[in-house]
Amino acid sequence: MQLEFAVLGFFDDHPDLTDAVVDSAYEELAKRYRAEATAHEYKPGKLDGLRLELHDTLLPLAEMLVGRPDNVMPYAPVSAQAMQDVFKRLRASIKRWGKVGGRQAYLNFIGGQLGGLELDGLELDGLELDED
C-alpha cells in the first residue's frame, strides 16, 4: 500500500501520468528484485522522463520494505522474491484495470481506493506524507 500511496502522490504532481508509465516503473523494479532473488546481476533498463522519476520515487520505499538500509521498518523485511511478487501483482492490477478502459484506469482505481484517505501529515510506518 505504501507503494501505491507514493504512486498517487506522484500522480497528483504529474496529472499526465499514465498506467503505461507506472507499469514500466513497476516492471523495472520487478526486474531488479528478480535479479537479486536469483543471484543474477541486475542490468538496468532504459527508463527516461516520468518513468525514471517514478522508478526513483518508488525504489527507496521498496528498499525499505526489503530491509535496507538497516531495517527501519517496525516489522520483518520481505525477501527480494516477495518484493518481485508484489510488483508482479501490481502490474497484473494495471493490466486488469486497463481492460476496463482508459489510459489512467489503474491510477483512477487506486485513487478511488486510497485517495479518500486524508494524507496530509499522515505517517505511514515512518514515512511522512505531506501535501504541499
Report the alpha-carbon distance of residue 78 to residue 100 in Å, rounded.
31
**What are 113's three cell numbers?**
481506493
Query: What pLDDT shows up at residue 69?
Result: 78
Per-residue model confidence (pLDDT) at position 42: 93
Cα–Cα distance, 86 to 69 (Å, whole number): 19
Structure confidence at residue 101 (pLDDT): 78
Closest CA to 94 of 84, 108, 76: 108
Range of the domain at 82: 2-129
Tell me what pLDDT residue 23 has: 98
Chunked into runs of 10 residues, the chain (132 residues) has average pLDDT values of 91 96 98 96 94 97 89 82 96 92 91 65 39 36
Tell me how far apart the alpha carbons of residues 51 and 25 are, in angstroms, rounded to a whole number: 6
pLDDT of residue 70: 76
At residue 116, the pLDDT reads 59
- In the chain, the number of structural domains is 1
